[in-house]
Amino acid sequence: MISICWLEDSSHRVGFICEGHAGYREPGETDEVCAAITALAGNLVTAWTDILNLDVTYQFESGLLYGRIEKKEEISQATWDKADLLLESFILGCKQIELSYGSQYISVTEPRRIA
């Protein structure tokens, strides 16, 4: 199962982490649930970096998708609001996949607090 949560610091939602494999298809077959989550996560990171010009740390490997905005004092509230809207869209997309395919393959969980 893929477990997905977003990351929060004391003032903002700053990222996401997706861990695991859906297991919707047999090993060696294309798993559309994993592919959909990977596409959503990749789109989010690209939007943060290419549209909002944010500094983002990310890692995409088998069983782990991670993205986090590196906080800098010069990020305006308007940019934070846009970054959060993009993250909310990612979360909604993941929840829709969970509804469509089932919570045995994907689970969107509560946020993780980070320092």
Torsion sign over Cα 70, 72, 14, 9 = positive
Residue 20, both tokens: 């695991």
pTM exceeds cut of 0.85:
yes
pLDDT by 10s per residue, the chain, length 115: 999 999 999 889 999 999 999 999 998 899 999 999 999 999 999 999 999 999 999 999 999 999 999 977 789 999 999 999 999 999 999 999 999 999 999 999 989 998 7
- Number of domains making up the chain: 1
Q: Measure the CA–CA gap between 11 and 90, rounded to whole angstroms.
A: 19
Q: Range of 73's domain?
A: 2-113
Chain centre distance of CA 99? 17
| CATH number, domain with residue 51 | 3.30.70.1490
